[in-house]
């Protein structure tokens, strides 16, 4: 497939990579697993000078139409395309993924011409059609270099300036689908002449101005920032906030709140605040267990798991949680090793959680009743009881309807979707967890509102159930006569006549 008029080939892409003698273009391709694989490096010149690896170039040219091929935007010292391997800063760029907004490349180009007429961007040097998106690049030059078209070197200050300019361009052109992540110095872009296998479209680079390639616009860092109305800054990129906050210069990046207990807190004060915040549910659960005199059958293991989970979110150590679990009585008595296992399992999951368990989940797991909540004055868990009772009624009604219609009980996932559509959600509008629904099902079974499920795990179990439901009808053996008042030994000693 021959390139259209004005399109650049791989050898003719010298305005980007052919202006420095000490840098090359690092090449990469996609492996079978989708990751980038190093494919060598290439020196591109305007004349007929051979590349560093002519045999490798011939193989790459033959492979262009078969698979994806990428090259670095900036010049590198070798095959390394990471930020640390960049040696020359060739351009400032923006990647417009307009397909995410339903924009075609032609519409993006018209919008960029409008931005150019409004002096929001300077004239670009290169434009690349990558198959779905459009790249716009502004080539850079170093005013202090002896040769006028030499790009600036990749000093830490220059790298920070280029990345900040890229970030500012991405924010300015966000309405055109600008990719805010394609701003780092070691960014890869699709090579001209290669094929984008996602859309089966060949990639083309276009020279922005008509005429000779030597007429390509070159900018200094200061000149580009002045022409685009951007700021020169070496500070790391931060979230800009809203327009009103930027104008008032009062916006500050908020500090992350200590939401999870497994994360590191900035100070002991923040850690203590999180412990106080998550201590309320634990105190109410301990008061409930003490009021009941321990954990009874049906809530033993799940109660210890809940205790360990809440202890972790309240910043208790594992030893403290185990001491409390050993002091908790279980009826009938639970194996100490099993009790420690459930407590440890709940504590480990609590360390990875972003907060304590929901009040509905805790109240359902421990089968909290209105009488107990009123007697103990439980504030947090009492809030969940009205919604929990209504949810239990809806659960039982849907369960019985499905059982009568389909002749089999519904799955918890089906019940979860039904209750979510009916409006039974958490405080944040999320569906109830499967743990909460499992606890509701166990509570309804113990109350006799729904039948207990029988899980048939093998053919033998099915046959056994058929025998139990349909017992064989055999006539009694007349030769064996059993006296109702006889003892067991007398009965078993009788033999057929």
Q: pLDDT by residue (tens digit) across 407-440?
A: 778 888 888 888 888 888 776 677 888 878 888 8
From the number of C-beta atoms within 10 Å of its C-beta (0-12, 13-18, 19+), residue 297 rates as exposed
Q: Which residue has the higher pLDDT, 67 or 311?
A: 311
Q: What is the average pLDDT across 160-175?
A: 91
Looking at residue 161, its pLDDT comes to 92
From the number of C-beta atoms within 10 Å of its C-beta (0-12, 13-18, 19+), residue 55 rates as exposed
Looking at residue 165, its pLDDT comes to 93
pTM greater than the 0.75 cutoff: no
What digits encode the pLDDT tens for the residues 302-342? 888 888 888 888 888 888 889 888 888 888 888 888 889 88
CB 368 within 8 A of CB 285: no
| CA atoms of 477 and 493, how far apart (whole Å) | 16
User: Cα-atom radius of gyration of the chain, to the nearest Å?
Assistant: 36
Whether pLDDT at 175 is above 70: yes
**Pick from 83, 36, 54, 300: which is nearest to 184 by CA?**
83
Instruction: For the beta carbon of residue 259, count every other beta carbon within 10 angstroms.
Output: 10
Looking at residue 453, its pLDDT comes to 61
Q: What is the average pLDDT across 16-21?
A: 78
Alpha-carbon distances of 9 from 21, 46, 109, 373, rounded to whole Å: 20, 11, 21, 77
Looking at residue 260, its pLDDT comes to 44
**Pick from 126, 100, 133, 106: which is nearest to 199 by CA?**
133
Beta bridge partners of 196: 201
Looking at residue 162, its pLDDT comes to 92
Looking at residue 270, its pLDDT comes to 64
CB 438 within 8 A of CB 412: yes
Average pLDDT in the chain: 76
The fold of 7-239 is Alpha-Beta Plaits (3.30.70)
Q: What is the average pLDDT across 27-41?
A: 76
- Sequence spans of domains, the chain: 7-239, 268-382, 385-446
């Amino acid at each position: 497939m021959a390139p259209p008029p004005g399109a650049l080939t791989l050898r003719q892409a010298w305005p980007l990579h052919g202006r420095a003698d000490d840098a090359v273009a690092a090449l990469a391709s996609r492996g079978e697993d989708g990751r980038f694989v190093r494919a060598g490096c290439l020196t591109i010149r305007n004349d007929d000078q051979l590349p560093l690896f002519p045999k490798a170039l011939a193989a790459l040219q033959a492979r262009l139409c078969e698979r994806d091929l990428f090259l670095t935007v900036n010049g590198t010292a070798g095959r390394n395309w990471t930020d640390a391997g960049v040696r020359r800063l060739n351009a400032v760029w923006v990647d417009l993924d307009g397909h995410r907004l339903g924009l075609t490349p032609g519409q993006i180009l018209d919008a960029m011409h409008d931005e150019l007429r409004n002096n929001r961007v300077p004239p670009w040097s290169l434009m690349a059609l990558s198959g779905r998106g459009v790249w716009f690049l502004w080539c850079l030059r170093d005013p202090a270099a002896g040769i006028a078209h030499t790009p600036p070197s990749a000093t830490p200050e220059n790298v920070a300036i280029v990345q900040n300019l890229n970030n500012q361009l991405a924010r300015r052109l966000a309405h055109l689908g600008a990719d805010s992540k394609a701003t780092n110095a070691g960014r890869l872009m699709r090579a001209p002449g290669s094929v984008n296998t996602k859309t089966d479209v060949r990639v083309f680079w276009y020279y922005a101005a008509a005429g000779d390639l030597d007429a390509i616009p070159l900018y200094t860092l200061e000149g580009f920032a002045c022409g685009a109305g951007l700021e020169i800054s070496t500070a790391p990129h931060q979230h800009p906030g809203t327009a009103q906050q930027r104008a008032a210069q009062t916006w500050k990046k908020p500090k992350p709140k200590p939401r999870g207990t497994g994360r590191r807190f900035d100070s002991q004060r923040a850690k203590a605040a999180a412990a106080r915040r998550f201590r309320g549910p634990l105190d109410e659960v301990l008061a409930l267990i003490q009021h009941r005199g321990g954990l009874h059958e049906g809530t033993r293991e799940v109660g210890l798991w809940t205790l360990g989970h809440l202890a972790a979110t309240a910043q208790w150590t594992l030893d403290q949680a185990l001491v409390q679990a050993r002091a908790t009585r279980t009826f009938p008595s639970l194996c100490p090793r099993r009790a420690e296992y459930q407590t440890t399992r709940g504590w480990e999951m609590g360390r990875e959680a972003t907060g304590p368990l929901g009040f509905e989940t805790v109240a359902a797991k421990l089968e909290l009743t209105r009488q107990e909540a009123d007697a103990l004055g439980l504030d947090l868990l009492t809030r969940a009881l009205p919604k929990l009772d209504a949810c239990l009624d809806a659960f039982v009604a849907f369960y019985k309807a499905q059982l009568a219609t389909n002749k089999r009980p519904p799955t918890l996932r089906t019940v979860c979707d039904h209750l979510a559509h009916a409006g039974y959600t958490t405080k944040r509008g999320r569906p109830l967890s499967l743990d909460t629904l499992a606890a509701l099902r166990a509570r309804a079974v113990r109350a006799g509102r729904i039948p207990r499920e029988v899980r048939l795990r093998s053919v033998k179990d099915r046959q056994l159930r058929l025998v139990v439901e349909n017992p064989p009808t055999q006539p009694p053996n007349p030769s064996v006569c059993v006296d109702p008042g006889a003892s067991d030994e007398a009965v078993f000693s009788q033999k057929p006549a």
